[in-house]
Chain A
Amino acid sequence: MRRIRAAAAGAVTISLLTAATACGGGSSTSGGSNDSPKTLTYWASNQGASIAIDKKVLQPELDKFQKQTGIKVKLEVVPWSDLLNRILTATTSGQGPDVLNIGNTWSASLQATGALLPWDAKNFGKIGGKDRFVDSALGSTGAQGKDPAAVPLYSMAYALYYNKKMFADAGIAKPPTTWDELIADGKKLSKGGKWGLGAEGSNPSENIHHAFVFAKQHGADFFTADGKADFTSDGVVAAVKQYVDLMARDKIIAPGNAEYAQNQSVADFATGKNAMLLWQSASANLKSQGMSEDSYGIAPVPVQSGTPGTGANVNSMVAGINLAVFKNTDNLDGATKFVKFMTSDAEQKILNTAYSSIPPVKAAQSDATFNTPSNAVLKDTLAQSAAALPQVADESQFETAVGTAIKELFADAAAGRPVTEASVKAKLDKAQQQMPKK
């Protein structure tokens, strides 16, 4: 009796241990199948003002898809705070959605996990070919020289949003085109509890997006050509310092913005607390906050001198959302069909209008809807003066490490502590050492 029990207990333990250790992660070897051709699971990122709004935008389109193909799409809108974690756990377990949205800057990182379906010529052929898409958007779909890990879905670019009335009241005739002008204007606007510019000091991703552009303008990069982290070059230090100095030295950003991480600066802009905002595709957002479209103007993000262009005159990252397919989907054909549907000219028009983004699909982009003056700024920026964030496998670590370093610098600036070249360099050095060693 004793021995039987002991043996039983042992068997339970061993089976648990083998279950745990032997199989490792999920169904790693399977390359996708068509076992359940009638359903798809789709994780959408939160693009609208709330998750409820996203569902309202997407559901009719998914119904349309079901009518066309008979495939039912189960939609889950995942908040940004959860999305990367959810993708990670899905990757680890092999239990994920069939199709999902990813931030385009994560493309190379997620590509490295091998969990996403590579978009080779054959797969691209199924959705109408690679050349349907705008080049700049394709530049943010994975590491160079590899098949893209995802397909562009929505494109966005940074622009300078400014409050027309506050500009007029301060006697400013036209939006600034260089940083010097922006600072001068900002100083005129920063008084009486109002401030020149808004920022999201505690949001690592926002910090990275701006620091990246500033670095470009200083002729520097965060990664060497062979993909090694290089955060402490003079150009990068100057770039990060210039960004933080908007609060620390120029004092045109309210110190309180140092703790913003939940888009409070957009709300501040909408309520007239800030006169300017550097943001990507904010129109729909501002509208939902009750700011009418004619009360603000949209201009290109300033440069050091001259006009936006390439090289040192880059003034935005290529922002956007990509659509990816999980390699081990059990409805490969359906997933491909769904990607084709979502990137079709008609759907691109509907979705990008709803989210005030720019279609990365050429045919859709030329539609009249996207030729309004405000969209023209975004479109021109994307076409002429936007650069893709480094497409390296360590991108997400880079965002965390450097984004957090800048967050700490903002905290220093807000507390009135000096932000010097040395202190910037020290923070960046620490960030660099936290990057994975190769």
Chain B
Amino acid sequence: MTTTTATAEAAERTVRKNSPGAARGPRRTGRIRRIGLPYLLLLPALVLELLVHLVPMVIGIVMSFKELTQFYIRDWGTAPWSGLDNYKVSVDFDAPVGKALLDSFFVTVTFTLLSVGLCWLIGTAAAIYMQGTFRGRGLLRALFLIPYALPVYTAVITWVFMFQHDNGLVNHVLHDQLHLTDKPSFWLIGDNSFIALLTVSVWKGWPFAFLIVMAGLQNIPQELYEAAALDGAGMWQQIRRITLPSLRPVNQVLVLVLFLWTFNDFNTPYVLFGKTAPEAADLISVHIYQASFVTWNFGTGSAMSVLLLLFLLVVTGVYLLLTSRGRKTADV
């Protein structure tokens, strides 16, 4: 009891210190208000996060310890506990289920790294090239944002249309018009599906990088360029010595966000390939979807999701640790 009041008062002191505005209200009612208000303001967000994200996550973790197959889905409370069985199956990399998960994991990591890398590269290059003014710049900027603005499924379905073996545009151009291949290639099945997936993902994702970097460029003080120019640095040198280093904090956030979005992306592969993706493009989210919904084994599916979450936690944690080192203020 005493500790609570003590901490409350401590909290109040910091409130008063940090928010000078609030400290000026009438003293008695203000006190309750000041402590209560921030919590009250946070309440809606808190309840929703609890309802939609956190509680379901807990349920998901509980499910991963159950044998939740078709025999029990009607009343999953009665599904028997299976201990760590679901996890054992998932990480037994010698058996097909575990191996398929591992393969899918590697495909996803490769895909994510390439996609994020390319999105960043194209986005940054475009943003830097579009810095100066030239005729048509506004129009071009609008055009570049279209892929990002399109709803995912309409964009991806257009690509499906283009990637068809017999009637698609891609084969028409590569094979019929440019004669680059001996025979039309398959893009939606087999090994090329990875390239197809990557293309769509980059097409859809780079404008976001472009947008963020463009915003980041506006925050670079003009004086830096002027000083560099006085030192005789050319355009390319200015980009290398000033623009890119100044973008570092922006990039750190951008890359993390892109990474998480790409890694967890479900919509793109699902619309592109349907419920069962080709092995070469078997992204982990679709893989888990298939493991749970198509084979009706929600326990194993949940265990795989939990493993995925743990992996993302570790990656994000390590990333934040590494990037915030040497930086005083961590944005996140």
Contacts and interface: CB of A to CB of B under 8 A. Distances in A.
A85 B293 CA distance: 7
B164 interface: yes
Contacts of A115: 74
A349 to B, nearest CB: 36
13 contacts: A1-B32, A3-B4, A16-B55, A17-B58, A88-B293, A109-B70, A201-B189, A258-B189, A259-B165, A393-B71, A408-B279, A415-B190, A434-B97
Identify the interface centre among B70, B96, B293: most chain A CB within 10 Å of its CB: B70
A411 B186 contact: yes
A28 interface: yes
A397 B35 CA distance: 56
Contacts of B274: 202, 261
A13 interface: yes
A259 B51 CA distance: 41
Category for how many chain B residues contact A: 35 or more
B71 A407 contact: no
A430 B96 contact: yes
B50 A16 contact: yes
A405 B274 CA distance: 15
B296 A433 contact: no
A120 to B, nearest CB: 19
Given A92-B74, A114-B74, A411 B190 contact: yes
Given A25-B74, A113-B73, A400 B50 contact: no
A88 B293 CA distance: 8
A24 interface: yes
Nearest to A202: B189
Contacts of A23: 77
Contact of A259 (B58, B75, B189): B189
Interface string B21-48: 0000000000010011001000000110
A256 B168 CA distance: 11
Interface string A394-433: 0011001100100110111011000000000000011001
Contacts of A16: 50-51, 55
A400 B100 contact: no
A201 B39 CA distance: 57
Contacts of B186: 255, 258-259, 411, 414-415
A91 B73 contact: yes
9 tightest A-B contacts by CB? A24-B77, A28-B75, A433-B96, A411-B189, A256-B166, A256-B165, A411-B190, A25-B75, A24-B75
A338 B71 CA distance: 28
Interface in B68-83: 69-71, 73-78
A92 B76 contact: yes
Given A2-B35, A393-B70, A414-B189, A433 B75 contact: no
Interface string B252-281: 000000000000000000000010101100
Interface of B: 4, 8, 32, 35-36, 39, 46-47, 50-51, 55-56, 58-59, 62, 69-71, 73-78, 95-97, 100, 164-166, 184, 186, 188-191, 274, 276, 278-279, 290, 293-297
Given A258-B189, A414-B186, 15 more contacts: A1-B36, A2-B8, A26-B75, A88-B293, A109-B70, A112-B71, A113-B70, A254-B166, A256-B184, A259-B165, A407-B189, A411-B186, A433-B95, A433-B97, A436-B295
B36 A17 contact: no
Contacts of B293: 85, 88
A5 B74 contact: no
B163 to A, nearest CB: 9
Nearest to B99: A430
Given A17-B58, A255-B165, A24 B78 contact: yes
A394 to B, nearest CB: 9
B190 A400 contact: no
A436 B297 CA distance: 8
Contacts, number: 127
A360 to B, nearest CB: 26
A17 to B, nearest CB: 6
A113 B297 CA distance: 12
Given A109-B70, A113-B70, A434-B295, A24 B189 contact: no
A411 B188 CA distance: 10
Given A2-B35, A261-B274, A91 B189 contact: no
Nearest to A3: B4
A372 interface: no
A411 B56 CA distance: 38
B184 to A, nearest CB: 8
Nearest to B71: A112
A94 B36 CA distance: 41
A368 interface: no
A343 to B, nearest CB: 26
Given A24-B77, A408-B278, A433-B96, A112 B70 contact: yes
Given A5-B36, A407-B189, A408-B278, A436 B78 contact: no
Interface string A229-273: 000000000000000000000000011101101000000000000
A13 B32 CA distance: 24
A136 to B, nearest CB: 26
A24 B66 CA distance: 13
Interface in A366-410: 393, 396-397, 400-401, 404, 407-408, 410
A133 to B, nearest CB: 26
Contacts of B69: 436
Contacts of B184: 256
Contact of B190 (A5, A26, A393, A412): A412
A221 to B, nearest CB: 21
A168 interface: no
Contacts of A85: 293
A202 B276 CA distance: 9
Given A88-B296, A113-B70, A20 B55 contact: yes
Contacts of A21: 59, 62, 77
A225 interface: no
A160 B46 CA distance: 61
A219 B96 CA distance: 28
Contacts of A24: 75-78
B169 to A, nearest CB: 15
Given A12-B47, A256-B165, A17 B32 contact: no
